[in-house]
Amino acid sequence: MGSETEPPRRQVPAHPLARSKPAGETQARGARAGGAQGRSPRPVRPLPTGEHFFTPGATGARRTVETKSAPLLVFLFQMPRWLAPVVLVALLIAGLVVPDWRGGVAVLPVLAFIAWLAYLSWPSLRPLGRLLRIAVGTFLVLLVATRFGLF
């Protein structure tokens, strides 16, 4: 009898950003925006499931960076999957082709993006993954340094 009066328990997502709007609400908002402009709404990809969105037990700078990075990561996740790699490869090719300081400027966003993702993923990486991130970061730093004439 006690179970009849209690409301059913809701499943709580692993992190606050994993909460999504009900399907009808997302569809209605997308249909209005798409209908007004005469095009179909872009489907919204749900966030990936996982145990933790933030590093468990993180404090200080790591917690701050992870908290401030969460909205940008969600934004990047909602973009088309091909967009970020195409932009990064285009900037890297520009940095490799242009021999002067302009090539270094083109590689700086790539270096910043790779360093940011390496910092965020560092606690969950195995030693080989960490080594690869260090190697890519070192290559990009040396490329920027040569383009700015430091070597």
pLDDT at residue 20, rounded to an integer: 47
Is residue 69 located within the same domain as residue 138?
yes
User: In terms of domains, do 75 and 147 share one?
Assistant: yes
1-56 tens-digit pLDDT: 545 565 555 454 454 454 444 444 444 444 444 444 556 566 777 766 765 678 88
Q: Give yes or no: residues 9 and 62 share one domain.
A: no
Report the pLDDT value the prediction gives residue 50, as an integer from 0 to 100. 64
With beta carbons less than 8 A apart as the criterion, state whether 81 and 42 touch: no
Among 53, 74, 92, the domain-final residue is: 53
Whether the model pTM is above 0.75: no
Q: What is the distance between the alpha carbons of residues 98 and 102, in angstroms, rounded to a whole number?
A: 7
Domain ranges, residue 16: 1-53
Q: CA-CA distance, 22 to 25, in Å (whole number)? A: 5
pLDDT digits (tens, 9 = 90+) for 73-96: 999 999 999 999 999 999 999 999
pLDDT category at 150 given cuts 50, 70, 90 is: very high
The sign of the dihedral angle between the CA atoms of 29, 71, 82, 108 is positive
Last residue of a domain, one of 17, 38, 53: 53
pLDDT for 102 beyond 50: yes
Pair 37, 70 in one domain: no
Number of domains in the chain: 2
| Residue 52, both tokens | 């933790």
| Burial of residue 97, with CB atoms counted within 10 A of its CB: 0-12 exposed, 13-18 middle, 19 or more buried | exposed
Domain-terminating residue out of 38, 53, 68? 53
78, 139: one domain: yes
Which has more confidence, 22 or 114? 114
Residues 105 and 49 in one domain: no
pLDDT attached to residue 41? 66
- Interatomic CA distance for residues 33 and 124, integer angstroms: 39
In the chain, the amino acid numbered 109 is P
Regarding whether 74 and 20 lie in a shared domain, the answer is: no
pLDDT at 98 over 80: yes
- Same domain as 101, residue 40: no
Burial class (CB in 10 A: 0-12, 13-18, 19+), 69: middle
Residues 82, 136: one domain? yes
What 3-state DSSP class applies to 62? Answer: helix
